[in-house]
Amino acid sequence: MTRWWQRPWIVPFAAIVVIFVAFSIPPYLSFDPARSRVPQPPELGVAHFWLLVPHVLFGSVALVSSVFQIWPWFRRRHPVAHRRLGRVYVFGGVLPAGVAALTIGSLSPFGPATRASNMLLAAVWLYVTVKGWRAARHHRFGEHRRWMIRSFALTASIITNRIWGAIFVIALMPQLETTFHGDEGLLAWVASAATAWLGWTIPLLIAEWWLERDRSHRGAGARRGAGARRITEPAEPRDQVTTS
């Protein structure tokens, strides 16, 4: 059995999630629209904040619960807790957060490219999560695992989104007076659009690469095992031909 310390990535990942959630949630727990970190679209005003609050809170539930769901030691050692936490992840995290994301994503103040990315991300996030949940319900656990790895990649993409955002702002800021002619709003639109698309497509592509690599390794292992069995199995005796 794999011990928990044989997955050293889980500790830094959990630490990053805790730090991210601790930084992200407080403005929305205050229920004060003035503390929102997202500009309010003029057509919605303060209503945008009240759509954003459930997305942030339910999304945080999904992010925190995903730490335990992707931890192999926890899954093997506590299968009942894994199933129960999986329901929390799906019904108390991804589904309400994803539905809220569809709404606020279509109203992003950062332009049509960002809106398109946000809405597509929300739709794909909901789709892969529901597919994973349905596979588990039908006891297709290999299929369940693959869909949920995609779901977790999209859940964690909120963290990579922030990283890309910082990178693009730093990279584009020196071009404010040249490429963007001093228009900070245009720079924000470009940085936001690039961040929005790369923030979730790259984690999803990495997840797909890892799944294909894992499938190849499993297939190679199965072929080696079958070959070894053929070598070690005794040959069947040939029929004896008798002559009278």
Q: Evaluate whether 75 touches 82 at the Cβ level (below 8 Å).
A: yes
In 3D space, the residue among 67, 60, 59, 72 whose CA is nearest the CA of residue 13 turns out to be 67
Q: Sketch the domain layout of the chain as residue ranges.
A: 4-215
Tell me what pLDDT residue 221 has: 56
For the stretch 61-119, pLDDT in tens is 999 999 999 998 898 999 999 999 999 999 999 999 999 999 999 888 899 999 999 99
Q: Tell me, what's the pLDDT at 244?
A: 35
- Are residues 54 and 97 in contact, defined by beta-carbon separation less than 8 angstroms? yes
> Looking at residue 15, what is its pLDDT?
95
Q: How many angstroms separate the Cα of 20 from the Cα of each of 36, 100, 156, 159?
A: 16, 20, 11, 7
For residue 181, the tally of other CB atoms under 10 A from its CB is 10
* Gap between the Cα atoms of 157 and 123, Å rounded: 14
Contacts of 97 (CB under 8 A, 6+ apart): 54, 55, 58, 59, 61, 62
pLDDT given for residue 219 in this prediction: 60
Whether 58 and 100 have beta carbons less than 8 Å apart is answered as yes
- Residues 24-33, mean pLDDT to the nearest whole number: 91
Structure tokens at 14: 């959990």
Residues 6 or more apart whose CB falls under 8 angstroms from that of 106 comprise 115, 118, 119
Residue, of 109 and 15, whose pLDDT is higher: 15
What are the tens digits of pLDDT across the range 156-193?
999 999 999 999 999 999 999 999 999 999 999 999 99
Q: Which amino acid, 38?
A: V
In order of 18, 108, 159, the CA distances from 209 in angstroms are: 27, 31, 20
Span 11-39, average pLDDT: 91
pLDDT at position 240 is: 44
pTM assigned to the model: 0.83
Mean pLDDT of the chain: 88
